[in-house]
């Protein structure tokens, strides 16, 4: 699976997330409209709480739409082939010295999404994730140590696309 196809799969997952958030935001907005106001019930805060939930969902929706737009731009600008160093938009294969290889797709959004390409699982990480921060700027064959909490890992970059 090439990088453009991976990016498209991430976009498809985000599109599904956006549709879900849109439905939840509409439900919360309608619940806020239907809830009794302060003039009707002095102790009921449902209207205010549902309004806050609707606003938070709208903010999340806006962020996800922006992320999807950025990823669509990456798809249109994606060039096949090897990259010289790890950066945003790269697919990087690493190992920690065991026989297991890990694949990360470093993107501005979509962190936590897992994509199956038949034989591998690729984890999307944002460029702010600790593992991405450690890997950005690395070249093929280079190793880096980084820690999260008390766990320290040493990773070696095997391949970059």
Structural domain boundaries in the chain? 3-77, 91-160
What integer pLDDT is reported at residue 146 of this predicted model? 86
pTM for this entry? 0.74
Cβ(93)–Cβ(102) below 8 Å: yes
What integer pLDDT is reported at residue 103 of this predicted model? 94
Q: Enter the CATH code of domain 91-160.
A: 3.10.50
Show the DSSP H helices in 2-45 as ranges: 3-34
H or E segment at 91?
strand 91-95
The neighbouring-strand residues paired with 115 are 122
What integer pLDDT is reported at residue 44 of this predicted model? 61
What would the pLDDT profile of 26-62 be if each residue is shown by its tens digit? Answer: 888 888 888 776 666 556 677 788 888 888 988 888 8
Distances (CA, A) of 127 to 87, 131, 132: 8, 9, 5
What integer pLDDT is reported at residue 58 of this predicted model? 87
Q: Report helix, strand or coil for 33.
A: helix
Distances (CA, A) of 15 to 58, 86, 139: 15, 27, 33
What integer pLDDT is reported at residue 141 of this predicted model? 94
Q: Give yes or no for residue 102 having a pLDDT over 90.
A: yes
Residue 158 confidence class, pLDDT cut points 50, 70, 90: very high
């Amino acid at each position: 699976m090439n990088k453009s196809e991976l990016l498209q799969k991430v976009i498809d997952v985000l599109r599904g997330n956006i549709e879900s958030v849109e439905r939840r935001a509409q439900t919360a907005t309608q619940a806020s409209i239907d809830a009794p106001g302060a003039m009707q019930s002095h102790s009921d805060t449902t209207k205010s709480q549902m309004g806050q939930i609707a606003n938070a969902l709208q903010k999340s929706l806006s962020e996800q739409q922006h992320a999807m737009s950025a990823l669509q731009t990456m798809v249109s600008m994606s060039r096949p082939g090897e990259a010289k160093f790890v950066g945003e938009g790269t697919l990087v294969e690493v190992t920690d010295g065991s026989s297991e290889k890990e694949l990360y797709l470093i993107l501005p959004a979509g962190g936590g999404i897992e994509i199956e390409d038949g034989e591998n699982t690729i984890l999307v990480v944002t460029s702010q994730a600790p593992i991405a921060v450690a890997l950005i700027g690395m070249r093929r064959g280079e190793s880096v140590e980084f820690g999260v909490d008390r766990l320290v890992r040493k990773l070696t970059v095997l391949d970059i696309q």
